Amino acid sequence: MAPLVQARVLPHAGLMATLAALTELGAGGILLLSTLEVSRRRFAGRLGTEHGYERAVALRSSAAALTLAGLSATIYLLQGGGLPVLGTAPAFDSPTAIELFVAPVALGIAWLEFGRFRAPRTSRQSAAPRAARTLLSCF
């Protein structure tokens, strides 16, 4: 990975830094909009009704979270990060990079949003008879 970074990234460090910042800003904006969409669904009445665009929002936010996880892991590895260890020597080093925390959290968010994308959409009227059939099939 070092030859790639030295040949392609370092000569264009300013451009790459801008690209990384814009990627983080765009993915963060998508995740913020997804958060607002999930919060909207918690309300009762017309405000909380299901819309057709919800699956697309969930898929885009899953892709944004995966992008942030990859970007954070790449930054952590390029800074020379390794697996965290317990001991006295790391006590005097710099604190654990935030990327080590962000990457797994972003992967978890991506997993949850992808599950929201794949979740079957059923209306409340059709779900009740199915639950009754399932309950009766147990006997």
pTM score, whole prediction: 0.73
Mean of per-residue pLDDT scores for the chain: 81
pLDDT per residue as tens digits for the range 25-51: 999 999 999 999 999 988 888 888 888
The pLDDT value recorded for residue 122 is 56
What span, in angstroms and rounded, lies between the C-alpha atoms of 39 and 18? Answer: 31
Please report the sign of the dihedral spanned by the C-alpha atoms of residue 70, residue 13, residue 30, residue 95: positive
Exposure letters 110-134 (e unless 16+ CB within 10 A, then b): beebbebbeeeeeeeeeeeeeeeee
Q: Kindly list the distances between the CA atom of residue 103 and the CA atoms of 54, 55, 69, 97, in Å, as whole numbers in the listed order.
A: 25, 24, 4, 11
pLDDT per residue as tens digits for the range 76-105: 888 777 776 777 766 666 655 677 888 899
Residue with tokens 């790639």: 4
How many angstroms from the chain centroid is the CA of residue 87? 31
Determine the straight-line distance between the first and last CA of the chain, rounded to whole angstroms.
61
